[in-house]
Amino acid sequence: MKRKHIAGALVAALLSPLSAWADWGMNMPRGVTELSEEIYGLHMAAFWVCVVIGVVVFGAMFYSILKHRKSLGVKPATFHESTTVEIIWTVIPVIILVSLAIPAAQALVKMEDSSNSELTIQVTGHQWKWQYEYPEQGIKFMSVLGSKSREASALGSGIAPGSVEHYLLEVDNPVVVPVGKKVRFLFTSNDVIHSWWVPDLAVKKDAIPGFINDMWVKVEKPGTYRGQCTELCGKDHGFMPINVVAMDDAGFQAWVDEQKAAAAAAADDSNRVWTQDELMAKGETIYKSTCAACHQASGAGIPGAFPALTGSAITTGDLKGHVDIVLHGKAGTAMQAFSSQLSDADIAAVVTYERNALGNSVGDMAQPADIKAMR
pLDDT tens string 318-330: 999 999 999 988 8
pLDDT for 27 equals 83
Rounded CA-CA distance 240/254 in Å is 27
* Confidence bin at 334 (pLDDT 50/70/90): confident
pLDDT for 370 equals 87
Identify the top-confidence range among 279-283, 287-291, 301-305.
Answer: 279-283
Rounded CA-CA distance 341/290 in Å is 10
Span(s) in the chain for CATH 1.10.760.10:
273-374
Q: Using the predicted structure, report yes or no on whether residue 121 has a pLDDT greater than 60.
A: yes
Q: Assign 3-state DSSP to the chain and report helix, strand, coil percentages, each to 5.
A: 45, 20, 35
- What dotted CATH number matches 119-267? 2.60.40.420
Span(s) in the chain for CATH 2.60.40.420:
119-267
Which class does domain 273-374 fall in?
mainly alpha
Over the stretch 64-106, which tens digit does the pLDDT of each residue have?
999 988 888 888 877 778 888 889 989 999 999 999 999 999 9
pLDDT for 23 equals 54
Q: Using the predicted structure, report yes or no on whether residue 20 has a pLDDT greater than 70.
A: no
Q: Using the predicted structure, report yes or no on whether residue 115 has a pLDDT greater than 70.
A: yes
146 three-class SS: coil
Average pLDDT value for the chain: 87
pLDDT for 22 equals 43
Q: CA gyration radius for the chain?
A: 28
pLDDT for 332 equals 77
154 three-class SS: coil
Higher pLDDT, 350 or 29: 350
Is residue 345 within a helix (H) or strand (E), and if so which, with residue range?
helix 344-356
CATH number for domain 34-70+81-112, candidates 1.10.10.10, 3.40.50.150, 1.20.1250.20, 1.10.287.90? 1.10.287.90
β-strand 119-126 against 183-189: which pairing, if any?
Answer: parallel
Q: Using the predicted structure, report yes or no on whether residue 11 has a pLDDT greater than 60.
A: no
Contacts of 102 (CB under 8 A, 6+ apart): none
279 three-class SS: helix
* Percent of the chain scoring above 90 in pLDDT: 59
Q: Using the predicted structure, report yes or no on whether residue 42 has a pLDDT greater than 60.
A: yes
DSSP character for 147? H
Rounded CA-CA distance 142/133 in Å is 9
Rounded CA-CA distance 280/285 in Å is 9
DSSP character for 290? I
pLDDT for 31 equals 86
Rounded CA-CA distance 27/57 in Å is 24
Question: Rounded to 5 degrees, what are φ and ψ at 127?
Answer: -80, 110
Rounded CA-CA distance 118/218 in Å is 10
176 and 223 Cβ atoms separated by less than 8 Å: no
β-strand 194-198 against 223-229: which pairing, if any?
Answer: antiparallel
Over the stretch 172-196, which tens digit does the pLDDT of each residue have?
999 999 999 999 999 999 989 999 9
DSSP character for 309? -
49: left (phi > 0), else alpha (psi -120 to 50), else beta? alpha
Span(s) in the chain for CATH 1.10.287.90:
34-70+81-112
Question: Rounded to 5 degrees, what are φ and ψ at 33?
Answer: -125, 165
* Confidence bin at 110 (pLDDT 50/70/90): very high
pLDDT for 2 equals 44
Rounded CA-CA distance 250/256 in Å is 10
* Confidence bin at 333 (pLDDT 50/70/90): confident
Higher pLDDT, 28 or 42: 42
Mean pLDDT of 239-255: 95
Neighbours of 62 (CB within 10 A): 10
